[in-house]
């Protein structure tokens, strides 16, 4: 499966490009989290990872926009996947580990929904990773009432036509082996069994990847791990970094600008080796990397191979 990550795109704009997505041989489109945000500002990409609750609709589009997108994609045989954030919410304006005042009051008012206000200091310490905060107010995913809220949210997205989920910061979600049945209860609570689920599990050991792979596919930067994976040549996390203004006075950020042809070469190699590969569509990419003939040829070549198999 070839997944096109149209990061920071508004849903109406994605809808307009679906025919091109199909022509380029992609099977699915990953959209930004669609949860309510503390602030609307498309140039501040990280805002979409500071949600204020479990509802549908933000600066990227409304519930109606999502339904329209999913309906259009379904007619073309394209799956729409949504990024979802279950681990944390937007922080208070004073920078503390208190929730932002716009966070859903039903979450704020339940003291059992929250982790202790202690930040992770050692990311190699598994206890800290699953029990402490990630620099933002973090949710206690052991709690069944909170799990039920998340299940309802995911099923609402499924009702809109969503065919899969990327669980952001999944490495911070404790596993059944760690006495938490989040993945068991939440995934079994989805109203459709054919929903594709994968979680962000980066910068970790093979042993941890194996444990997460028991419950869902893993989005990983470890290209040596090849079981139940989604791999990438670049992601929005690896792309974004230092901020500057481009020639058209647009905010543009990049940690290290790797030429588009190199990203496309890496993608081509990964598609040859892995079943599930994500292509990150760079913003302000004058070369339109995902629209190149190379990507189209690679996608259709591997589609033919899969058919023969």
Q: Which helix (H) or strand (E) holds 230?
A: strand 229-232
pLDDT for 122-181, tens place per residue?
999 999 999 999 999 999 999 999 999 999 999 999 999 999 999 999 999 999 999 999
The domain limits of the chain are: 2-86+141-308
Q: Are strands 229-232 and 277-280 parallel, antiparallel or unpaired?
A: parallel
Q: How far apart are CA 91 and CA 26, in angstroms?
A: 36
Homologous superfamily assigned to 2-86+141-308: Glycosidases (3.20.20.80)
- Average pLDDT of the chain, as a whole number: 90
Q: What is the pLDDT of residue 307?
A: 40
Residues pairing with 279 in the sheet: 4
Q: What is the DSSP string of 14-64?
A: HHHTHHHHHHTT--EEEE---S-BS---TT-GGGGGSB-SS-S-BTTB-HH
How confident is the model over 212-224, as a mean pLDDT? 92
Q: How far apart are CA 231 and CA 217, in angstroms?
A: 10
Burial of residue 138 (number of CB atoms within 10 Å: 0-12, 13-18, 19+): buried
Residues near 118 by Cβ (< 8 Å), separated by ≥ 6?
Answer: 97, 132, 133
Q: How far apart are CA 141 and CA 177, in angstroms?
A: 14
27 has a pLDDT exceeding 70: yes
- CB-based contact 166:220 (threshold 8 Å): no
In this prediction, residue 80 has a pLDDT band, given cuts at 50, 70 and 90, of very high
33 has a pLDDT exceeding 80: yes
How confident is the model over 86-102, as a mean pLDDT? 94
User: pTM for the complete prediction?
Assistant: 0.92
How confident is the model over 242-266, as a mean pLDDT? 61
């Amino acid at each position: 499966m070839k997944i096109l990550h149209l990061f920071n795109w508004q849903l109406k704009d994605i809808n307009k490009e679906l025919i091109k997505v199909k022509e380029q041989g992609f099977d699915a489109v990953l959209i930004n989290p669609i949860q309510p945000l503390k602030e609307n500002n498309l140039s501040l990409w990280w805002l979409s990872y500071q949600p204020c609750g479990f509802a549908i609709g933000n600066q990227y589009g409304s519930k109606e926009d999502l339904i329209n997108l999913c309906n259009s994609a379904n007619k073309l045989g394209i799956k729409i996947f949504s990024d979802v954030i279950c681990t944390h919410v937007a922080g208070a304006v004073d920078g503390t580990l208190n929730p932002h005042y716009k966070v859903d009051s039903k979450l704020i008012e339940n003291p059992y929904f929250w982790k202790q206000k202690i930040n992770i200091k050692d990311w190699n310490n598994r206890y800290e990773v699953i029990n402490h905060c990630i620099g933002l107010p973090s949710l206690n995913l052991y709690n069944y009432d909170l799990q039920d809220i998340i299940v309802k949210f995911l099923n609402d997205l499924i009702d809109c036509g969503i065919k899969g989920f990327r669980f952001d910061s999944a490495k911070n979600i404790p596993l059944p082996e760690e006495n938490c049945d989040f993945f068991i209860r939440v995934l079994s609570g989805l109203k459709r069994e054919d929903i594709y689920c994968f979680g962000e599990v980066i910068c970790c050991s093979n042993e941890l990847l194996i444990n997460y792979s028991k419950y869902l596919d893993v989005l990983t930067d470890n290209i040596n791990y090849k079981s139940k994976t989604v791999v990438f040549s670049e992601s929005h996390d690896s792309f974004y970094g230092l901020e500057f203004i481009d020639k058209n006075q647009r905010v543009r950020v990049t940690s290290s600008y790797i030429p588009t042809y190199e990203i496309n070469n890496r993608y081509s190699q990964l598609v040859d080796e892995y079943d599930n590969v994500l292509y990150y569509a760079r913003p302000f990419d004058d070369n339109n990397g995902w629209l190149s003939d190379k990507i189209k040829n690679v996608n259709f070549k591997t589609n033919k191979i899969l058919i023969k198999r």
